[in-house]
Amino acid sequence: MNAILQHEVISKVVNPSSVEKLSLLMCPPTLYEVSYVINPWMQGNMGHASRQRAMRQWESLYEVLSELADVQLVQPIAGSPDMVFTANAGLARNGVVAISSFYYPERQGEEPHFRAWFEKAGYKIVDLPRETPFEGEGDALFSADGSRLWVGYGTRTAESSHAALSGLWDAEVTGLHLIDPRFYHLDTCFAPLMDGSLLYYPSAFDAASIEKIEAYYPAEMRIAVGESDALSFACNAVNIGKTIVLNLISAELELELRRRGFEVVQVELDEFLKAGGAAKCLVMKLTPELHRAPREGDEMERKEKSEAELIALEEQYGAHNYHPLDVVIERAQGAWVTDVAGRRYLDFLAAYSAVNQGHCHPVILKAMVEQAQKVTLTSRAFRNDQLPLLLRDLHELTEFDRALPMNSGAEAVETALKAARKWGETVKGIERDQTEIITCSNNFHGRTIAIVGFSTDAQYRAGFGPFPAGFKHVPFGDADALRRTITPQTCAFLVEPIQGEAGVIVPPEGYLREVAKICRENNVLLVVDEIQSGLGRTGKLFAYMHDGITPDVVIVGKALSGGFYPVSAVLSSTEVLGVFQPGDHGSTFGGNPLACAVARAALRVIVEEQLAERSAELGVYALARLKEMSSSNVVEVRGRGLWLAIELNVPARPICEALRDRGVLCKETHETVIRIAPPLMISREDLDWGLAQIEHVLDERRVENLDAHSTRSEADAFAPVA
């Protein structure tokens, strides 16, 4: 049981068999945020919600309710952060559901998804007119015996909806006028309890409504709460039998509820108060008969998806060209991923900087889905309406004249190499087939034959020769070596501003400035590979900007699509990319409309969410904190922005495995280096938590015996997802 729960709730939950088994609908808060203002609680909270904390609080509530009821789940959709508040999905009874028609456009996108869920579950669906706003169980609550339907109005649900609701069930519809905007839905201030009593906040209603309430509920059956408890949404309670589940309340109210025979389960839900919700807002009551109990085969299906079996299938049928950590990821959102067993991990790798924007960013997802429903591929045999817009966006953002879109990073590197060689012959005048390109030792630019041919890593080359000629190496960070190596046949110098695969190696101060000067003096193209370092990772849009230079060619990829689709590009001047003529170079998928729409959205997110600036701020903080670690096993901590590395004097793999077991995913490189590169949208809270796990694992008292400290701790690191 999550530690957030109060008062050892398991011991206080009544035996589920003693009450009628209810069915409830909930939605995980994997996309929860406060991104707009449609009630007073959201005011001042935009951008301040913690999805991690919300998830943990929601899971605590889910765990309690699962003890008492059959909880069904509907999955959230991008662009609908309030979908977690399923009370507003509709009002269901006896197999009929009145679908909500939301007052605010911000929530209207939820309607078709809730509709689809109810249709699949077998409900008879009733639509209320769009001009008659109705927000489901949030504003419509049955009395304990079902004879009366209390319906709130005045803020969201229209009074005119009452007539439409009156004919759906055999219940008298009674309207209650809400007059305090803080209590914008009826369920925020009014809770009919199963024993026939009422928990309510009188000040939320006008005088006429109070008369109706008092006429129905005798004084001894009314439990009026004070303002303090009301503002904690004490009335936003889930009542099942003699158990009441709600947010934290005063000792006085708890005592009163217990005096009346209720078991009180308090679950901290303050993260949802930022959006104006608590326990009842997160739950909708369903028709139990339509939701079957799990069948024997369901458990078998779950077992077939087990982590061990999936790993075995991959090992049996896949080529063994990777050595991944044994965690099987099923879904992800933001900076967090979830494995097939429901364990959650903080991603400190971000797919090698491909998901700088965070996993499954809703803006990029929306762009991808919309474009996928129109046209995905035309080939370059025909034009499409997205490629010109991406080319324009890249020009306006980077100020390079032209771009040539490709797919993978390696393809973009190959494209840059071809452009540089052809420029060398056609513009610089190097003799045919005599061009030379200088690269750096310990480079990593991809896995093609040409690229591994100029690698200095023996494993990358072993068994793949013979390799194309025309490449030379110089030590990374040594500008004088570059000067000495240039000849009249040199057309380009290919360099990573920071060497990522080599271990996040940052060159000496001023290195790129000196390199750019040398290249200008010798009419050599400076080609900068920003596939990992670019698009915000190091604290600027591109890493070369730290040195105040402008390269001749820039290669981008990975975060250019935000992790949704392989998109890369070569950026350069008309002089360089103008050497290509029709037929010289191409790609069936390069520049396809789906890729371009995704890339445009990914770029907008980087700019609008100021991810480069965020990386700069958090990177300085994280680097300083890591340098303060006390461990005899740490040789060096280095990096720039949120691209960091810890170099060790012991193997890094066991430490990465220990971090995995504490809920943080990192990956080793070159045996003794741990790379740290979380999504740039990571919250300070999440970053702190992840760094604390690293500090714990690297504590020198634990490094000596990692096996004794690698047991997965759900209490410390994980919040199981249902």
472/468 Cα distance (integer angstroms): 11
Q: Can you give the three-state secondary structure of 50-73, one letter per residue?
A: CHHHHHHHHHHHHHHHHHHEEEEE
Q: Strand pairing partners for 93?
A: 96
Query: Is there a catalytic annotation at residue 139?
Result: no
- Reference 45, options 268, 270, 219; nearest CA is 270
Distance (Å, whole) CA 172 – CA 186: 17
Parallel, antiparallel, or unpaired for β 673-676 and 643-648?
antiparallel
Q: What is the DSSP string of 249-261?
A: --HHHHHHHHHTT
Cβ neighbors of 292 (< 8 A, separation 6 or more) are: none
CA distance 447 to 182: 59
Please pick, among 274, 280, 540, 558, the residue that the annotation labels catalytic: 558
Torsions phi, psi for 90 (to 5 deg):
170, -170
Q: Are strands 243-246 and 238-240 parallel, antiparallel or unpaired?
A: antiparallel
Q: Which of 85, 118, 205, 444 is an active site residue?
A: 444
Dihedral sign for Cα atoms in the order 657, 658, 662, 664: negative
**Amino acid identity, position 568:** S
* Cα distance between residue 309 and residue 69, in whole Å: 31
CA gap 48, 683 in Å, rounded:
10
Catalytic residue status for 444: yes
Contact 572, 400 (CB under 8 A): yes
Beta bridge mates, 359: 334
As beta bridge partners, residue 96 has 93, 124
Reference 76, options 96, 55, 49, 95; nearest CA is 55
DSSP assigned state of 666: -
For the chain, helix, strand, coil in percent to 5 are 40, 20, 45
Residues in the chain: 722
- Burial class of residue 242, CB neighbours in 10 A (0-12, 13-18, 19+): middle
**What is the per-residue burial (b if ≥16 Cβ within 10 Å, else e) of 139-170?**
bbbbbeeeebbbbbbbbbbbeebbebbeebbe
Cα atoms in the 13 Å half-sphere on the side-chain side of 534: 25
| Active-site choice (229, 529, 552, 661) | 529
Find residue 145's DSSP bridge partners: none
- Which residue type occupies 101? S
79: left (phi over 0), alpha (psi -120 to 50) or beta: left
**Which uninterrupted H or E stretch holds 519?**
helix 511-521
DSSP string, 303-321: HHT-HHHHHHHHHHHS---
Q: What are phi and psi of 79, to 5 degrees?
A: 85, 0
DSSP annotation string for 385-448: SSHHHHHHHHHHHH--SEEEEESSHHHHHHHHHHHHHHHIIIII-PPTT--EEEEETT----SS
H or E segment to which residue 175 belongs:
strand 172-177
What whole-number distance in Å separates Cα of residue 430 and Cα of residue 602?
39
Task: Tell me how far apart the alpha carbons of residues 235 and 242 are, in angstroms, rounded to a whole number.
Answer: 16
CA dihedral defined by 198, 201, 205, 210, rounded to 10 degrees? Answer: 40
Using DSSP, state whether 372 is helix, strand or coil: helix
CB-CB contact of 587 with 411 (8 Å): yes
The set of catalytic residues is 444, 529, 558
